Amino acid sequence: MSTLRFEALKETFNRKPVKIKEPARRSELFGTNVFNEASMKQYLTKEAYENVMEAIKTGKKIDRRVSDHISTGMKEWAIAKGATHYTHWFQPLTGATAEKHDAFFETQADGSAIEKFGGGALVQQEPDASSFPSGGIRNTFEARGYTAWDPTSPAFLWGTTLCIPTIFVSYTGEALDYKTPLLRALQAVDQAATSVAKYFDKNVTKVTATLGWEQEYFLIDSALAATRPDLSLAGRTLLGHSPAKGQQLDDHYFGSIPSRVLAYMRDLEIECMKLGIPVKTRHNEVAPNQFELAPIFEEGNLAVDHNSLIMDIMSKIAEKHHFKVILHEKPFAGINGSGKHNNWSLATDTGTNLLAPGSTPMKNLQFLTFFINIIKAVHDNEELLRAAIASASNDHRLGANEAPPAIISAFIGSQLTEVLDELEKVTDGKLSPQEKTELKLNVVGKIPEILLDNTDRNRTSSFAFTGNKFEFRAVGSTANCANPMTVINTIMAKQLNDFKAEVDELIKGKKMKKDDAIFNVLREYIKKSKNIRFEGDGYGEAWEKEAKKRGLSNNRTTPQALKAQISEKTIALYEEMKVMNKVELEARHEIELEDYAMRIQIEGRILGDIARNHVIPTAVRYQNILIENVEGLKHIYNEDFKKHSNEQLELIEEISEHIAKINSGVKAMIEARKVANKIEDSEKRAFAYCDDVKPYFDEIRYHCDKLELLVDDELWPLTKYRELLFTR
């Protein structure tokens, strides 16, 4: 095994950057492998094109009568670009994307063959759903699941396969994927936000939730990664001593991009351009061998699809460059983990970002209305937001090395805090002319000046306002963005509905003017949501004590956090907004608990295997070398040998102690696993893995890492941190 490590290092040192042929203008590539509006105009009949565009813009169902025309045009476009197969591309609750490829090829009765793709195959398919997680929604013998075309996310070509984005639902209609609830949440927030936006602009007919994600990741040479069973099977290192140099000097962040990595990034970006993914930013991240890419903002559903797609193609492109992409939130101890900041906002069909201040007091009052409502929504649903980013992998990241803590809080900056403090003083009831003037000119009117160059620098805030959007920073790098986006859009829809009802009641019941009513309701929201706002450092006991005092939750682990998914409050919220029903919520809760327990179980098995089959035998081998040395010294010096072999004897003893601790730790962990495996209730089993199995990981790792420092480097079988993180 140690030979494999050194062979891998030698192979890595001989790598050269892959040569990339790049077009002069990337704009010429953009969307060339997407069945977009331009392609539809070319390949569809006028009626078919208008049907699709109406479905995209208004959500109207596509006429089944014209679906054959659409499928024919899509097929001809795809075949002209080299496609041989098609697939319904969907996002089941496994966390990965799924696809089943069917050929366009069909035989005829006379023995001839044709390329065929009918409207029925485009609109709906019936994959065997028995092996996908369902959370008990249906039995294996009721395994039918249906994929149905989502025309709002355009079909695309990957390799020789036409990929058609779809939803995935059970035989009885429940959502079995991430996309379906997201689409419902986007529709809910559209309706709610449009109603409120009409207070300020009667011309608004649609509000779109936008998302800009930032994908962080590590790149490790594929040969080095292959020497680590933990990286290969768990996506993270379960042991490994920290190198003398890590990220202390901050010399990697925004530094010069290594040549092999840059070639990979260029290759990836070219493929993204073809697939219509508007990637714009690339840079080194804080930790060694950690990087980031980010696109331009897009409509929420399309942005989620693009992120799911890019996580897949990142790994495929990496193979060409002899890299392994590590998306795990905390693949290496002691340095920064990887997140996926979700930058969320709302935009009207009149071209206004509702979370950006404007040039007039009226536009700024609109900004404050949506700004304060989202803070109120976060305050009222902080536990649900925590549940949305809960996973076994993200638990390692939250609260460590610049990542946000498990406590959800909102950071808005000192200037906007002062604005809200002023608004909190608004008179109860109708405002005097003098007060209105003061508010509009000196408070609301000056918001654009306040926000000028007022950027957020607080990395520990989980939900931060950053100029014209809110940035949900606690989302993990492996997460499907649909989960947090479903929560944010649902709670915002509910909050805006409540806001409008309260304002309308003051206008009708109290005969208040619109502005007076809005100011009165906003004042109460500022008071009620004050506890969620936090401007300080999110680390340490001081904030934890303060958060507890404020009544904020601190659900450190996934099993604890997931409880919020099935609370009466959550079920009522989702059912009221028609996003998910009780059956769907309980199913997802069951699936995520099972996923958590299985991941900890897998990691425990891997750790036990590495500790017993790699670490201990290596330590024993080195110990035998020391023993031979001591025996040789004894042969030479006789009774005087101890003064010449004292350090060797201490090493032998120290190694024995660590071996014993590792062995006893692995045994205890296995017994704890056996107990946990017998628990039938998924929540209790998840807690057993969290509280009784997982704690052994740190204990076993501690002694393995100590042995790494003691054992001869020539014998150590596992590629070390310094090699994984600094070999480029």
Helix intervals (H) in 294-407 = 300-320, 361-380, 382-388, 392-397
pLDDT at residue number 634 = 82
The identity of residue 121, as a single letter, is A
- Strand 463-465 and strand 156-158: the pairing is unpaired
**Do residues 339 and 474 lie in contact, with contact meaning Cβ atoms separated by under 8 Å?**
yes
Residue 114 reports pLDDT greater than 90: no
Q: 533 pairs with which residues across the strands?
A: 410
Q: What is the DSSP letter of 692?
A: I
What values do phi and psi take at 511, rounded to 5?
60, 35
CA-wise closest residue to 308 among 152, 595, 96, 155: 96
Residue 251 reports pLDDT greater than 90: no
3-state secondary structure 598-661: HHHHHHHHHHHHHHHHHHHHHHHHHHHHHHHHHHHHHHHHHHHHHHHHHHHHHHHHHHHHHHHH
**Do residues 180 and 152 lie in contact, with contact meaning Cβ atoms separated by under 8 Å?**
no
- CATH code matching the domain that covers 199-580, chosen among 3.40.50.970, 3.40.50.1370, 1.10.4160.10, 3.30.590.10: 3.30.590.10
Question: Binning pLDDT at 50, 70 and 90, where does residue 141 land?
Answer: very low
Tokens at residue 543, please? 């904030």
CA 152 to chain centre: 22
pLDDT at residue number 443 = 81
Q: What percent of the chain has pLDDT over 90?
A: 71
pLDDT at residue number 540 = 73
Of residues 451 and 341, more confidence is placed in 341
Residue 341 reports pLDDT greater than 90: yes
Cα angle 155-157-159, degrees, rounded to a multiple of 5: 155
Tokens at residue 319, please? 């193979």
pLDDT at residue number 131 = 63
Of residues 486 and 145, more confidence is placed in 486
Q: What percent of the chain has pLDDT over 70?
A: 95
pLDDT tens digits, one per residue of 589-647: 999 999 999 999 999 999 999 999 999 999 999 999 999 988 888 888 887 777 777 88
> 595-725 domain in CATH 3.65.10.10?
no
pLDDT at residue number 75 = 94
Mean pLDDT value of segment 454-467 = 73
Residues 6+ apart with CB under 8 A from 462: 385, 404, 405, 407, 408, 409, 472, 473, 474, 538
C-alpha–C-alpha distance, residues 684 and 646, integer Å = 51
Mean pLDDT value of segment 303-312 = 97
C-alpha–C-alpha distance, residues 563 and 386, integer Å = 10
What is the largest distance, in Å, between two alpha-carbon atoms of the chain? Answer: 105
C-alpha–C-alpha distance, residues 160 and 77, integer Å = 12
Mean pLDDT value of segment 713-723 = 95
Question: Binning pLDDT at 50, 70 and 90, where does residue 127 land?
Answer: low
C-alpha–C-alpha distance, residues 682 and 591, integer Å = 9
> What is the average pLDDT value for the chain, to the nearest integer?
91
pLDDT at residue number 140 = 41
Collapsed DSSP state (helix, strand, coil) of residue 88: strand
Residue 452 reports pLDDT greater than 90: no
Residue 455 reports pLDDT greater than 70: no
Q: What is the DSSP letter of 440?
A: I
Lowest mean pLDDT across 334-348, 405-419, 558-572, 637-651: 637-651
pLDDT tens digits, one per residue of 183-226: 999 999 999 999 999 999 999 999 999 999 999 999 999 999 99
**Do residues 150 and 127 lie in contact, with contact meaning Cβ atoms separated by under 8 Å?**
no
Assign domain 31-169 to a CATH class.
alpha beta
Mean pLDDT value of segment 17-46 = 92
pLDDT at residue number 458 = 56
For the chain, the structural domain boundaries read 31-169, 199-580, 595-725
